[in-house]
């Protein structure tokens, strides 16, 4: 099986893997509460003890996954009904009313300080890679067992990403320094554990081999893209996009073009809170042609041979325990 076939198998069987990621790519007005709050409640109930029968729990899991699919397609009301039925199956208590008194908002300085403290605690920890695999089994629903993400760019390739970069991004998400409504509940302390868990899953991701079978841009303005990269990006991201582990600069080699475009726009428009301020200022003046050209060029940067997965590689850690993508429907 070729690497492309190995990567594409998730597209053929993983409609709902895409569904989970679509929530991040195409935010709906209800994302701030409603559906995602109930989804998080259901997920916690499915993981914990319940008075519901095993059959009810299994039926709920199917309804839950179908609800995610519906929601990603814009079928908000149907998704809500499917999730409400799941809640009834699990005999979950009514949600407590939101208290009128609200806590004082936390300043960005406090949020960034909280993230920085967790990063500082996580970096020297020795990762328990076996526990990292346990945590990653949930991550694999979107990122795939190999860590290659989706060629559509809705989910990035994280295989081969620097360990310190993974730690920083997870800590930023947990603290609220990087907004990610889908990642946040799965990266939370309640979901995966404390700071050691961040070190563990980052340590496991560090063992994954990279795919170079990524979607690329149109390829019609590469000379301009190369010049823009040399003038604006190479100093930090490296001549070949290798990044810098010690400086927390991401590896951008073999990354999906659509994902690069999405993140570039978010950084340029000031929507990604943990973006490097120098980068924000540097790319703010890029017009559409320049943006397409430089990202097309970046999408063609590839890692050294030693980082690449061999042809047909599949993550052996998922071979013995069958990996089940989210089902197509109820």
Of 99-103, 110-114, 312-316, least confident by mean pLDDT is 99-103
Classify domain 109-208 at the CATH topology level. Answer: Cytochrome Bc1 Complex; Chain D, domain 2 (1.10.760)
| Contact between residue 159 and residue 174 where contact means Cβ atoms under 8 Å apart | no
The mean-pLDDT minimum among 38-52, 118-132, 133-147 falls in 38-52
pLDDT tens, position by position, 199-212: 999 999 999 999 99
Q: Report residue 77's pLDDT band, with 50, 70 and 90 as the boundaries.
A: confident
Mean pLDDT over 71-81 rounds to: 82
* pTM, entire model: 0.69
- What are 55-68's pLDDT values in tens digits? 888 888 888 888 88
CA distance 187 to 170: 7
Greater confidence, 73 or 179?
179
CB 66 within 8 A of CB 82: yes
318 pLDDT above the threshold of 50: yes
Residue pair 262/174 in contact by the 8 Å Cβ criterion:
no
- Residue 75's pLDDT band, with cuts at 50, 70 and 90, is confident
pLDDT of residue 105: 67
Q: Quick check: 19 pLDDT over 80?
A: no
**pLDDT score of 36 more than 80:** yes
Q: Which residue from 183, 244, 259, 250 is spatially nearest to 214, judged by alpha carbons?
A: 259
44 confidence band (pLDDT: 50, 70, 90)? confident
According to the model, what pLDDT value does residue 234 have?
A: 97
Per-residue pLDDT, averaged over 102-113, amounts to 81
The answer on pLDDT for 227 being more than 60 is yes
Q: DSSP secondary-structure letter at 210?
A: B
Average pLDDT, the chain: 84
d(CA 270, CA 281): 10
pLDDT (tens digit, 9 = 90+) per residue, 259-299? 999 999 999 998 899 999 999 999 999 999 999 999 999 99
State whether the Cα torsion 175-176-178-179 is positive or negative. Answer: positive
Most confident of 81-85, 101-105, 183-187, 235-239: 235-239
* 222-307: CATH topology: Cytochrome Bc1 Complex; Chain D, domain 2 (1.10.760)
- Residue scoring higher pLDDT (301 or 185): 301
- Whole-Å CA distances, 301 to 78, 176, 229, 252: 43, 31, 11, 8
The model's confidence at residue 244, banded by pLDDT at 50, 70 and 90, is very high
Higher-confidence residue of 177 and 97: namely: 177
CB-based burial, 176-210: b 16+ in 10 Å, e otherwise: bbbbeebbbbbbeeebbeebbbbbbbbbbbbebbb
Structure confidence at residue 42 as a pLDDT band (50, 70, 90): confident
- pLDDT for residue 317 is more than 50: yes
What local confidence, expressed as pLDDT, does residue 6 receive? 45
Provide the pLDDT for residue 103.
Answer: 58
pLDDT of residue 66: 86
Q: Where in the chain is the domain with CATH 1.10.760.10?
A: 109-208, 222-307
Q: What is the pLDDT of residue 323?
A: 52
């Amino acid at each position: 099986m070729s690497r492309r076939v190995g990567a594409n198998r998730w597209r053929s069987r993983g409609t709902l893997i895409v569904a989970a990621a679509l929530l991040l790519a195409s935010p709906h007005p209800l994302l701030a509460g409603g559906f995602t709050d109930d989804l998080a409640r259901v997920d916690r109930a499915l993981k914990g003890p319940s008075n519901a029968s095993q059959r009810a729990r299994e039926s709920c899991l199917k309804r839950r996954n179908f609800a995610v699919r519906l929601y990603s397609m814009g079928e908000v009301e149907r998704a809500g009904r499917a999730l409400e039925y799941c809640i009834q199956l699990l005999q979950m208590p009514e949600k407590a009313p939101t208290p009128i008194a609200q806590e004082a908002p936390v300043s960005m300085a406090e949020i960034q300080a909280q993230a920085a403290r967790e990063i500082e605690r996580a970096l020297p920890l020795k990762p328990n890679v076996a526990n990292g695999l346990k945590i990653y089994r949930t991550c694999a629903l979107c990122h795939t067992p190999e860590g290659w993400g989706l060629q559509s760019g809705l989910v990035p390739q994280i295989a081969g990403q620097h360990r310190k970069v993974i730690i920083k991004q997870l800590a930023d998400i947990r603290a609220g320094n990087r907004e990610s409504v889908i990642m946040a509940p799965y990266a939370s302390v309640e979901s995966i554990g404390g700071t050691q868990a961040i070190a563990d899953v980052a340590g496991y991701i560090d063992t994954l081999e990279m795919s170079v079978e990524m979607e690329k841009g149109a390829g019609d303005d590469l000379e301009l893209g190369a010049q823009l990269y040399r003038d604006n990006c190479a100093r930090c991201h490296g001549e070949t996009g290798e990044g810098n582990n010690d400086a927390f600069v991401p590896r951008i080699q073999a990354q999906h073009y659509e994902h690069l475009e999405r993140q570039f726009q978010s950084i340029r428009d000031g929507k990604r809170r943990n973006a490097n301020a120098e980068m924000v200022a540097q790319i703010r003046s890029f017009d559409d042609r320049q943006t397409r050209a430089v990202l097309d060029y970046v999408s063609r940067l590839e890692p050294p041979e030693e980082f690449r997965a061999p042809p047909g590689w599949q993550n052996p850690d998922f071979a013995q325990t069958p990996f089940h993508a989210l089902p197509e429907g109820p």
